[in-house]
């Protein structure tokens, strides 16, 4: 087990296309870090550079106190789980798990002990004699994890390991990966495009976009205190609502939407937002903070009438889609509130949880 | 509800199930007829070859009787060939040339295909296309320049000439088959092996060769066919009886002037055809799987 340090790392391809643009990241021993972002953001490239499967154009990668820029993958003491499992099709589950140990000339008894131990941990003891083609997707993914675990490496690398599984199995395997990390707390770098996976698994989430790190933080920190508009919109499902606005002083600091609607900024935020008076800004508000009017008396809550466009009952909640000044907006309401398309629904906007984004920099202020 | 009620009131389009079934049946009949003609055209000559090989010279040259039927079947032709020292020599020469050609061609093709498809060096794409293009040059165009080369090397009238030449015919196509097969193996498999601690030679031997076995068998069959069935080069470069291979030996030994020993010629052909037939019969599934690898998404 080891720290991983990424220092000013750049990955450029031919034609000067930069997939990763000088990122810095410190991952401490035992930590579970998830790199998340949309396709093409550089998260998989970063992981592959840590693995040694991609050369580094500039910068340094350290694993356990050593620079590994020129160290081949086999000498980095890492293990990787791939999206498509990458099991050797002609080998049994046992041989798949034992392959790395055999290459490293471990004694037979030690190989058997480690494989049995990992198989018990992952509940695949009964599958050891089977070939990968005789396994289900979930079982294959467990074997792939077993192959990583038996090596007892310094770092686990996961490259979108759940993307090939169906929705139900994905949730189940997510829990198992978390449980595995609790049992074997090896430093882990996990790549996914699914922000729910990132939020549920990570000690810290690294949000990447266009080859740069937008924000690094604990899941709750990212959710409640996003640093940029991108993070605010990427983390959370349904995504945060964004409404163009201007900060005005109209007998108190307020945000004024494009249609003239004015909403008072809570007293606790006046000092923070005061300097942005008169500037073009974007109001960010999460769907759960635009909800039915049961606590409209709460300080900082504004009432707004919405004409319902689409209703999506989810069981434990209902999503209501409507428009505010031509901008599509989503609200999360109590499933017992009855409404329908075309109806007017009074919504309480909790300005205590508002976010204000500066349009010029896209930073949350 | 309203949508389905509306749909129910609309006039239904005429069912085309019947006509589709009819089309399918017609296509099936068409296929059967075409295949029957194909089978007849291709199986009649070998059938006639076997029938003739079982006849005596007297029966072959008899004017009366049905030439498609054997009245008094005999294995004399086969026995005579098997006990003929020259024929044994041709057979051994063919086996030796084929075995070395296959081994050499497959070793080169597998190594070339692995490096071209997996090592990702600059120009590997151009090189792999170039390898295939060399296969398109007809052997008959080359045999005069090759004669000169073999002359310089002192290999005229030696089976070593064939051992050197046949791989030049087999390697490009075998490499092409293997490139196709190796390319169909997911990249993550070698990456997983690299991380597991394997070197490139270990990846080739322990992962790629076992996984690509159908492709290797397909390429091996091709190389075998090139060496076993070749006629032009053995005829052009080997002139003494002790160096001849089966294809040339049959012609030289069993046709004397205008005297054709038809019974023995046919028996020799049947015996020469036996190894490829046996190999194709047992490995046909692998052969097809190897040639079609990568044609569809797995």
For chain B, domain boundaries:
84-296
pLDDT tens by residue, chain B, 298 residues: 344 444 445 566 555 556 888 999 999 999 999 999 999 999 999 999 999 999 988 888 888 888 888 888 999 999 988 998 988 999 999 999 999 999 999 999 999 999 998 887 888 888 888 887 888 888 888 888 889 999 999 999 999 999 999 998 899 989 988 998 898 888 999 999 999 999 999 999 999 998 888 889 889 988 998 899 899 899 989 988 889 999 998 888 888 878 888 999 999 999 989 888 888 888 777 666 655 554 443 3
Q: How far is B189 from chain A (nearest CA, A)?
A: 5
Mean pLDDT of A221-230: 95
Given CB atoms, is B191 within the 8 Å cutoff of chain A? Answer: yes
Specify the pairing of strand A155-159 against strand A78-81: parallel
Cβ <8 Å between B210 and A53: no
- Measured between CB atoms, which of A78, A79, A88 is closest to B207? A88
Q: Which residues of A touch B197 (CB under 8 A)?
A: 74, 100, 103-104
Q: What is residue B4's predicted lDDT score, i.e. its pLDDT?
A: 43
Q: Which residues of B touch A104 (CB under 8 A)?
A: 197
Measured CB to CB, residues of chain A less than 8 Å from chain B are 51-53, 72-74, 78-80, 82-84, 86-90, 99-100, 103-104, 147, 151
- Measured between CB atoms, which of B189, B191, B196 is closest to A100? B196
Q: Which residues of A touch B298 (CB under 8 A)?
A: none
Band the pLDDT of A167: cuts 50, 70, 90: confident
Residue A33 pLDDT greater than 50, yes or no: yes
Cβ <8 Å between B210 and A90: yes
DSSP B226-288: HHHH--HHHHHH--SGGG--HHHHHHHHHEETTEE-HHHHHHHHHHHHHHHHHHHHHHHHHHH
Alpha-carbon span A283 to A253, nearest angstrom: 14
**What is the CATH number assigned to the segment(s) B84-296?**
1.10.3720.10
Taking residue A139's Cβ as centre, other Cβ atoms within 10 Å add up to 19
* ipTM of the shown complex: 0.85
Q: What is residue B198's predicted lDDT score, i.e. its pLDDT?
A: 93
Cβ <8 Å between A51 and B193: no
Q: How far is A24 from chain B (nearest CA, A)?
A: 24
Q: Which residues of A touch B188 (CB under 8 A)?
A: 82-84, 86
Q: What is residue B292's predicted lDDT score, i.e. its pLDDT?
A: 56
Fill in the DSSP letter of residue A277. B
Q: Which residues of B touch A51 (CB under 8 A)?
A: 191, 195
Given CB atoms, is B62 within the 8 Å cutoff of chain A? Answer: no
Give the pLDDT confidence of A340-352 residue by residue, as tens digits.
Answer: 999 999 999 999 9
Asked if B216 contacts B287 with a C-beta cutoff of 8 angstroms, the reply is no
Question: Sign of the CA dihedral A12, A47, A40, A355?
Answer: negative
DSSP A199-237: HHH-SEEEEEETTEEEEEE-HHHHHHS-SBHHHHHHSSS
Alpha-carbon span B194 to A358, nearest angstrom: 47
Given CB atoms, is B192 within the 8 Å cutoff of chain A? Answer: yes
Q: C-alpha distances in angstroms, B79 versus A44, A211, A279, B52, B247?
A: 69, 78, 105, 15, 19
């Amino acid at each position: 087990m080891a720290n991983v340090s990424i220092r000013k790392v750049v990955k450029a391809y031919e034609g000067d296309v930069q997939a990763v643009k000088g990122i810095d990241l410190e991952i401490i021993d035992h930590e579970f870090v998830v790199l998340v972002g949309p396709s093409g953001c550089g998260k998989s490239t970063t992981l592959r550079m840590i693995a040694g499967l991609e050369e580094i154009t500039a910068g340094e990668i350290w694993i356990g106190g050593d620079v590994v820029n020129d160290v081949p993958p086999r000498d980095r003491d890492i293990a990787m789980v791939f999206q498509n499992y990458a099991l050797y099709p002609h080998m049994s589950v046992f041989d798949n798990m034992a392959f790395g140990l055999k290459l490293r000339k471990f004694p037979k008894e030690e190989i058997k002990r480690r494989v049995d131990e990992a198989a018990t941990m992952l509940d695949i003891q009964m599958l050891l004699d089977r070939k990968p083609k005789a396994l289900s997707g979930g079982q294959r993914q467990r074997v792939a994890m077993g192959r990583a675990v038996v090596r007892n490496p310094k770092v686990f690398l996961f490259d979108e390991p759940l993307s090939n599984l169906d929705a139900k199995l994905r949730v189940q395997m997510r829990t198992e990966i978390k449980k595995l990390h609790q049992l074997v707390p090896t430093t882990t770098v996990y790549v996914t495009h699914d922000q729910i996976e990132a939020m549920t698994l990570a000690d810290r989430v690294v949000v990447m976009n266009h080859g740069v790190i937008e924000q690094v933080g604990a899941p709750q920190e990212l959710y409640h205190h996003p640093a940029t508009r991108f993070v605010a919109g990427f983390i959370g499902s349904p995504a945060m609502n964004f409404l163009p606005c201007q900060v005005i002083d109209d007998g108190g600091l307020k945000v004024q939407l494009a249609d003239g609607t004015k909403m008072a900024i809570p007293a606790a935020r006046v000092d923070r937002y005061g300097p942005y008076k008169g500037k073009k800004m974007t109001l960010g508000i999460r769907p759960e903070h635009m909800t039915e009017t049961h606590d409209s008396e709460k300080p900082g809550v504004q009432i707004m009438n919405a004409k319902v466009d689409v209703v999506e009952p989810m069981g434990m909640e209902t999503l209501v889609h409507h428009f505010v000044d031509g901008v599509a907006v989503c609200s999360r309401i109590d499933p017992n509130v009855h409404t329908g398309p075309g109806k007017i629904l009074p919504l309480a906007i909790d300005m205590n949880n508002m976010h204000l984004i500066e349009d010029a920099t896209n930073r949350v202020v | 509800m309203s949508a389905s009620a509306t749909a129910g009131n609309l006039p239904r389009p005429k069912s085309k199930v019947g006509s589709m079934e009819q089309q399918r049946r017609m296509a099936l009949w068409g296929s059967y007829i075409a295949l029957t003609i194909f089978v007849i055209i291709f199986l009649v000559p070998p059938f006639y070859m076997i029938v003739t090989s079982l006849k005596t010279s007297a029966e072959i040259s008899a004017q009366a009787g049905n030439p498609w039927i054997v009245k008094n079947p005999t294995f004399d032709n086969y026995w005579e060939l098997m006990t003929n020292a020259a024929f044994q020599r041709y057979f051994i020469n063919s086996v030796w040339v084929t075995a070395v050609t296959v081994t050499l061609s497959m070793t080169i093709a597998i190594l070339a295909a692995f490096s071209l498809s997996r090592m990702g060096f600059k120009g590997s794409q151009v090189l792999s296309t170039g390898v295939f293009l060399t296969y398109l040059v007809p052997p008959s165009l080359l045999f005069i320049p090759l004669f000169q080369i073999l002359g310089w090397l002192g290999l005229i009238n030696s089976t070593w000439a064939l051992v050197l030449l046949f791989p030049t015919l087999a390697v490009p196509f075998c490499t092409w088959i293997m490139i196709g097969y190796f390319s169909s193996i997911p990249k993550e498999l070698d990456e997983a092996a690299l991380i597991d601690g394997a070197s490139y030679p270990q990846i080739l031997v322990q992962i790629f060769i076992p996984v690509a076995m159908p492709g290797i068998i397909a390429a091996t069959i091709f190389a075998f066919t090139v060496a076993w069935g070749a006629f032009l080069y053995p005829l052009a470069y080997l002139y003494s009886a002790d160096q001849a291979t089966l294809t040339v030996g049959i012609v030289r030994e069993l046709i004397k002037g205008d005297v054709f020993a038809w019974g023995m010629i046919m028996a020799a052909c049947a015996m020469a055809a036996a190894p490829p037939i046996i190999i194709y019969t047992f490995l046909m599934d692998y052969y097809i799987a190897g040639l079609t690898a990568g044609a569809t998404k797995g």
